[in-house]
């Protein structure tokens, strides 16, 4: 499977949130009202104007505080369940770019029920805008098609964010994992064969984020199940449009 991929090495992340801000800037996503929830994580969750969020979790080990940073975003799944869910309502709303593999939503997502799309995503990524359009990370497809790297990768000062040809990112991820395994026996890559955004964590993924790793089966069984689930809804939408 060619195309492009990210490698996100959480051990190098300092939670500076540069990637989060760069994403907002490049996508011209406005600021929104937020509130302090007692955590470094702000806003508290992804939303229609926040496609990338640095999640922050606090824990304790041996009487000392431990912090987990997780720069969350769409994984650009190789077989995206969200695409099937949206296709149950409307055609042509999700493009899977042949060259890069980027999964990109367009304005045809407007009006598709967000709960169904969000529920189909194993990583809980899609969000709705006020105008009803469903949005998420685009892999900065407009930059990548012009020979640039995604904005979040460009600004990352520590090397946590990496982007390039899929085989190169997989090689980089596996080498880094091998280096860390001795010191961190729980070190692992998260669903590397299923996604184009490959995270490396060194502890239980749930300590980073409840949806850090996919718990649902992906692949053909899940795709077929979703098609069956959403076919009646599509028929209903078409019926309303013509009736």
**If binding is defined by CB under 6 A, does position 173 make contact with ligand SF4?**
no
Strand spans (E) along 10-126: 53-61, 64-72, 94-96, 103-105
Least distance in angstroms from the C-beta of 25 to ligand SF4: 13
Least distance in angstroms from the C-beta of 1 to ligand SF4: 14
**If binding is defined by CB under 6 A, does position 139 make contact with ligand SF4?**
no
Binding residue for ligand SF4 (CB under 6 A) from 2, 14, 25, 219? 14
Stretch that binds ligand SF4, among 9-17, 29-37, 175-183, 221-229 (CB under 6 A): 9-17
Pull the structure tokens for residue 12: 């190098």
C-alpha distance from residue 209 to each of 44, 137, 144, 194, 198 (Å): 12, 18, 28, 18, 15
Q: Which one, 54 or 169, has the nearer CB to ligand SF4? A: 54
SS3 151: helix
Least distance in angstroms from the C-beta of 80 to ligand SF4: 4
The helix (H) or strand (E) run that includes residue 7 is: strand 4-9
Pull the structure tokens for residue 22: 């760069």
* Locus of tokens 């799309």: 117
Q: Which one, 15 or 93, has the nearer CB to ligand SF4? A: 15
Least distance in angstroms from the C-beta of 93 to ligand SF4: 12
Q: Which one, 141 or 156, has the nearer CB to ligand SF4? A: 156
Q: Please check whether residue 78 is in contact with residue 218, taking contact to mean a CB–CB distance below 8 angstroms.
A: no
Q: Please check whether residue 42 is in contact with residue 75, taking contact to mean a CB–CB distance below 8 angstroms.
A: no
Half-sphere exposure of 186 (CA within 13 A, CB side): 8
Give the total residue count for the chain.
243
DSSP category for residue 208: H
Binding residue for ligand SF4 (CB under 6 A) from 86, 102, 125, 201? 125
Q: Please check whether residue 209 is in contact with residue 56, taking contact to mean a CB–CB distance below 8 angstroms.
A: no
Least distance in angstroms from the C-beta of 63 to ligand SF4: 26
Q: By rule CB under 6 A, what string of x and - marks binding of each residue 174-213 to ligand SF4?
A: ----------------------------------------
Q: What residues make contact with ligand SF4 under the rule CB under 6 A?
A: 13-19, 54, 71, 74-77, 80-82, 103, 121, 123, 125-126, 136, 155-156, 158, 160-161
């Amino acid at each position: 499977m060619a195309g492009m991929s990210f490698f996100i090495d959480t051990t190098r992340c300092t939670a500076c949130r540069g990637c989060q801000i760069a994403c907002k800037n490049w996508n011209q996503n406005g600021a929104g009202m937020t509130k302090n929830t007692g955590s470094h994580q702000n806003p508290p969750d992804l939303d229609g104007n926040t496609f990338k969020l640095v999640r922050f979790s606090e824990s304790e080990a041996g009487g000392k505080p431990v912090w987990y940073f997780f720069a969350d975003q769409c994984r650009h799944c190789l077989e995206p369940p969200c695409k099937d869910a949206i296709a149950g309502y409307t055609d042509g709303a999700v493009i899977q770019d042949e060259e890069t593999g980027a999964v990109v939503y367009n304005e045809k997502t407007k009006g598709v029920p967000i709960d169904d799309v969000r529920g189909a995503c194993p990583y809980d990524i899609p969000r709705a805008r006020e105008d009803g359009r469903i949005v998420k990370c685009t892999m900065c497809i407009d930059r990548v098609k012009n020979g640039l790297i995604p904005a979040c990768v460009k600004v990352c000062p520590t090397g946590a964010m990496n982007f390039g040809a899929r085989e190169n990112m997989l090689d980089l991820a596996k080498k880094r994992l091998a280096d860390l395994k001795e010191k961190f026996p729980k070190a692992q890559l998260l669903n590397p064969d299923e996604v184009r955004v490959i995270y490396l964590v060194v502890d239980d993924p749930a300590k980073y984020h409840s949806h850090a790793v996919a718990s649902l089966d992906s692949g053909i069984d899940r795709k077929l199940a979703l098609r069956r689930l959403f076919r009646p809804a599509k028929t209903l939408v078409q019926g309303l449009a013509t009736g």
